[in-house]
Structure 1
Amino acid sequence: MFDASRLALTYLLIEWVIRLAMVVILPMRRSPEAARSWLLFVLFLPVPALILYRFIGRAQFPAWRQARFADDQPFRQQVARDLAADGTEQSEIQQLAETLGGFPACAGNSARLLSNYDGTIAAMIEAIDAATIRIRLQTYIFADDRTGKAVVEALARARERGVPVHVLVDALGSRPWAKRSMALLRQAGVEARLVLPVRFAPLRRARTDLRNHRKLCLVDGRIVFVGSQNIVNRDFKPGIVNDELVARVEGPVVAAFDAMFASDWYLETGERLDALPIPAPPGSSVHQAMPSGPDFGTTGYERLLVELVHRARREVTIVSPYLIPDQALITAVKNAAARSVSVNLVVSQVVDQRLVSYAQRSYYQELLEAGARLHGYRRHLLHAKSVAIDDTIAVVGSSNVDMRSFALNAEISLILHGADAVAPMLEILRGYLECSDELTLPEWRARPQTSRLLENLARLVSPLL
């Protein structure tokens, strides 16, 4: 005979076992913000929370992948030693970035910043068409649209010349196009792999949303395109046009980016790719590659960004389409503003992810009250990710200012050191500010109550986004 009361009691006991167990488990190796969000979820809905935790609860890869990353470490370290052989004296920030990402700053580089979307694709294709040794391309999105087909055609021409081509495409980021895009690449004779294929195994030990968000186009081991731009049409989302920022870099630093591609390829395939000699110096700028992500076991980009803001003396400019700062960064921004540092945060008025936008907006009042200046870029979706500190250091790459880029995604950044290298970035940032509307504290306080409610609700889950 069915006993509903016994079933209800059993379910209640299960809920309390989950709650008590999660109180112990959740705070371990997790930020206070994320732990609070999970604990709140567990408090009200313990069983659904446990199920969700099985899929996205652990920001780490399976043991086999961690072992493979460690196995590849000697290769990356050798490249780092070769780069350090130029004798460039490392500043404290450069030492920090090397500790976090594995590669030292090196001199003899040159960079050109590209902000024209179609012009950047054309520049990549031009470099691909001039390749004679090899091509390596890594992206979060590779579509089979006009842009994607143009790149595939260039890669096919390279293969016809006998140039080896390797391509890595994130499986989740490219999911709407992956089957068709991979078929096009393979038809062109390209060695292509999907990165981190999504498998919903019930006992999977890694989050299914740990992604490889890096964007790299490497040509002949001497040129790299690094930044925010994917291989997809600028208006691939209906009603939204993207503005991006990419650096075209030549010089010894390219070897570090090349090593990270080879490391990612090894993680996915178990196959080692050959390294080329360190490129000859075509310029005089000091640059540094800094990869980050779950493989490194620390929130590398977040730690670098917090330290940069703490060290600012005159001006900080941070550009990110998704701005969900953690407490450490909020404190750094508040302290900078209290030192009379001009803190400019540039976000996009155009929104492509509504929940993320509400979570982001929940931090505006605190930032404005601290003295930071918020600028809403009005032209398009500003998908660029960049940072400038005073006139001495700048960063461009794939990392947003949110938990996803801090802890969950594999990211890659180019750090520009020195006034001459940073000057072009400052010019681009001034252009962003000219195309933005500044949000004032009185304006923000006058927003509707419904917006406040949605923002507060979204903030509860922001550490989980």
Structure 2
Amino acid sequence: MNIFYNLIKYFLFLTYWLLIANITFRVLMKRRSIPVSMSWLLTIYIIPFIGISIWFFFGELYLGKRQKKIANKIWSISNQWLNELKLCQHIFQKQNSEVADSLFQLCKHRQGISGIKSNKVELLSNTKKTMQILIRDIYLARRNIEMVFYIWKPGGIADDVAIALIDSAQRGIHCRLMLDSAGSIEFFQSPWFNIMKKAGIQVVAALKFSLSRIFLRRIDVRQHRKIVLIDNYITYSGSMNLVDPDLFKKSSNIGQWIDLMIRIEGPIASAIGIIYSCDWEIETGCKILPQLPNNNILKNEFNKKSSVQVIASGPGFPKNMIHQALLTTIYSAKHELIMTTPYLVPSEDLLQAICTAAQRGVNVSIIIPLDHDSILVKWASRVFFSELLEAGVKIYQFKKGLLHSKSILVDQQLSLIGSVNLDMRSLWLNFEITLVIDDSHFGNNLFAVQNQYILDSQLLDKKIWSMRSYWTRILEKIFYFLSPLL
């Protein structure tokens, strides 16, 4: 009996150290930033059993086997279609503003196309009005409607969107709906799922979440994009999930979620359509390449001086593109930089870029929620406050709800709006989208919205912040240790 127990003991001991050695090797071989690698190694060695469990859930970027195979080749296939889009030379902007030029050059060389002109771009800052405009456009659709959202929560005005979509499908409009399986779990458990399928809508649960898959892929890689495409001409994108703001997360007692969306008419819809096409193929295996812009679009009288670019991230898309774009944007600022984000857990490079901007004389403001839906992220964010304040960055804490909008404005000329949070998950893991607009008129509109956010916020006082308790600082350091893993 003693021999048997000793064999079991030695077997478990050997298995444990083989796991530790294997994970250590994979951490060292994977080219991560040093802080992230060190966080993983310390977690595994200091709290090994918990660390090993966390690694298997969150340590590597897994997709399903079929999805990974498609993702590995999806962008090269897309480039073939982009070459056809390039033949529509009239839609491309040849020159950008000085502040936007570096970012648009980066996008051109890494994604294959220049910024696109002749778009009518509208900023929408009221969720209820945005939904009403979307419902109108859905009813007016003539050919096709494609949607992707992280969260669709039934109830209220979200049901009105569902009814409009069902009506469009029943009158012959080709409707496709892709929703993240984890974020939209309430939708898939509701009657709307089967009602939509019976109406002829293709409904897909992206990145299906189940306990049987937890060792096959990372469960926290999510489809976080928010996109609506109508007739290959009208596009919506931004931070808004398909939820009624009066009903969403009322039990959290943090007020309504405040979002920004962009509605665009014009040829940029074709470029955004290719992103949707890639997502659809990765999830279903079916190819649905969008149509090229038609001649009527090429001849429209929309603003030909502005330029719009779309940046996508996630498995299969150009690696580190979002991170590079954010760094390029911040370093392009000469006078003013305003950022809004609900989750502020930047990479070390982004943190230094923001601090450097302030130290070289740029007026830098960051607007974040005062109250938060995530305790982990709230405390992790606090770690960065001291360094930002010391560099001269103004930190505003929004008091009228959860500020969920993700926006960057540089010198009231270059605007970035999308689904990307300033945290590790958005930068490195999720399927995300950001729209880049080089247009002073649009920049002025975004500035007005951001300025209203500032008026509804309280400025974090550097002296008061420095007087926080010793135990608070210790707690912040603990979350700082975990921040690369969030």
Report the TM-score when normalising by structure 1. Answer: 0.94
**Segment drifting more, 3-12 vs 412-421:** 3-12
Q: Which amino acid aligns with 1:114?
A: L
Alignment partner for residue 211 of structure 1, among 222, 241, 256? 222
Distance 1:278 1:447, change over 3 A: same
Superposition deviation, residue 182 in structure 1: 2.0
Superposition deviation, residue 317 in structure 1: 1.0
- 1:35 & 1:121 partners in 2: Cα distance? 43
Q: Deviations over 1:368-402 (max 9, x none)?
A: 11211101011110000000111221100110000
8 Å Cα contact 1:397/1:414 also seen in 2: yes
Is 1:241 matched up with 2:262? no
**Segment drifting more, 131-140 vs 53-62:** 53-62
- 1:202 & 1:50 partners in 2: Cα distance? 17
Superposition deviation, residue 147 in structure 1: 2.8
Q: Deviations over 1:214-271 (max 9, x none)?
A: 0011111110110000111214112231110000011111111111112111111111
Distance 1:188 1:2, change over 3 A: farther
Superposition deviation, residue 58 in structure 1: 0.6
**Segment drifting more, 11-20 vs 226-235:** 11-20
- 1:222 & 1:448 partners in 2: Cα distance? 55
**SS of equivalent to 1:218:** strand
- 1:60 & 1:113 partners in 2: Cα distance? 35
**SS of equivalent to 2:483:** helix
Aligned residues: 465
Distance 1:387 1:143, change over 3 A: same
Alignment-derived partner of residue 409 in structure 2: 388
Alignment-derived partner of residue 69 in structure 1: 71
Superposition deviation, residue 65 in structure 1: 2.4
Distance 1:365 1:218, change over 3 A: same
**Segment drifting more, 21-30 vs 432-441:** 21-30
Distance 1:79 1:423, change over 3 A: farther
Superposition deviation, residue 146 in structure 1: 1.8
Q: Which amino acid aligns with 1:309?
A: I
8 Å Cα contact 2:102/2:328 also seen in 1: no
Alignment-derived partner of residue 268 in structure 2: 253
Alignment-derived partner of residue 119 in structure 1: 129
CA RMSD across the alignment: 2.1
Alignment-derived partner of residue 287 in structure 2: 272
Q: Which amino acid aligns with 1:278?
A: P
- 1:184 & 1:386 partners in 2: Cα distance? 36
Superposition deviation, residue 42 in structure 1: 0.6
Alignment-derived partner of residue 462 in structure 1: 483
**Segment drifting more, 298-307 vs 21-30:** 21-30
Alignment-derived partner of residue 347 in structure 1: 368
**Segment drifting more, 393-402 vs 417-426:** 417-426
Q: Which amino acid aligns with 1:162?
A: G
Distance 1:242 1:341, change over 3 A: same
Alignment-derived partner of residue 299 in structure 1: 320
Distance 1:320 1:130, change over 3 A: same
Superposition deviation, residue 103 in structure 1: 4.3
> Identical aligned pairs, as a percentage?
28
Q: Which amino acid aligns with 2:118?
A: G
- 2:20 & 2:265 partners in 1: Cα distance? 54
Alignment-derived partner of residue 54 in structure 2: 52
For structure 1, the residue ranges without an aligned partner over 5 or more in a row are none
Alignment-derived partner of residue 24 in structure 2: 23
1:283-298 equivalence runs, <5 A? 283-284=302-303, 285-296=306-317, 298=319
- 1:291 & 1:104 partners in 2: Cα distance? 15
Alignment-derived partner of residue 98 in structure 2: none
Superposition deviation, residue 274 in structure 1: 4.6
Is 1:35 matched up with 2:34? no
Superposition deviation, residue 101 in structure 1: 4.4
**SS of equivalent to 2:248:** coil
Q: Which amino acid aligns with 1:264?
A: D
Report the TM-score when normalising by structure 2. Answer: 0.90
1:105-184 equivalence runs, <5 A? 105-180=115-190, 181-184=192-195
- 1:171 & 1:324 partners in 2: Cα distance? 25
Alignment-derived partner of residue 377 in structure 2: 356
Superposition deviation, residue 39 in structure 1: 0.9
Alignment-derived partner of residue 413 in structure 1: 434
- 2:320 & 2:268 partners in 1: Cα distance? 22
Q: Deviations over 1:7-38 (max 9, x none)?
A: 55654554444444433321312222321221
- 1:434 & 1:82 partners in 2: Cα distance? 47
Superposition deviation, residue 293 in structure 1: 1.6
**SS of equivalent to 2:217:** coil
1:435-446 equivalence runs, <5 A? 435-446=456-467
**SS of equivalent to 2:397:** strand
- 2:462 & 2:7 partners in 1: Cα distance? 56
**Segment drifting more, 134-143 vs 449-458:** 449-458
- 2:212 & 2:292 partners in 1: Cα distance? 42
Distance 1:11 1:282, change over 3 A: farther
